[in-house]
Amino acid sequence: MPEPTEYQSRLLKSASTFMSRWRGVRAELRELSASHKTLTILCYRELPPQYNLYIACIGPVEISSPVTWSDSNLCAELRSDGLFIVRDDQNRVRIICEGLEVKENVHV
């Protein structure tokens, strides 16, 4: 298995930090954009989701997930082929994508 690049390592470390802060909250598949080929996941504690975790799965290859779920436990990993996996095993979420972006408190 090839070693992750420095960028991939930093991205996974940052994603892990953000995702651990937002464990146990409600999550939903927010939008699937065909033009930019991005699936967004929004995690939030209460409505309206003013404070949130915004996860952009860029270039999704495979999506297996309920549309919404509670008690989220998301994590991100890198496969040997360089694709990312965003998953939450207890909620049957598994998304394989080419890139990843994670931000907090995005205006939606």
pLDDT tens for each residue of 43-97: 999 888 889 999 999 999 999 999 999 999 999 999 999 999 999 999 999 999 9
- Residue 6 amino acid letter: E
- Residue 58 has a pLDDT of 98
- Residue 3 has a pLDDT of 84
Q: Which of 52, 30, 32, 35 has its CA nearest to residue 43?
A: 52
CB 21 within 8 A of CB 53: yes
pTM of the shown model: 0.93
- Residue 75 has a pLDDT of 98
CB 100 within 8 A of CB 48: no
Residue 108: pLDDT band (50, 70, 90) is: confident
Does the structure show a pLDDT above 70 at 1? no
- Residue 76 has a pLDDT of 98
| ω into 2 cis (within 30 of 0) | no
d(CA 13, CA 34): 28
Degrees, nearest 5: CA angle 45-105-33: 95
> Taking the mean position of all CA atoms in its chain, how far away is CA 48?
20
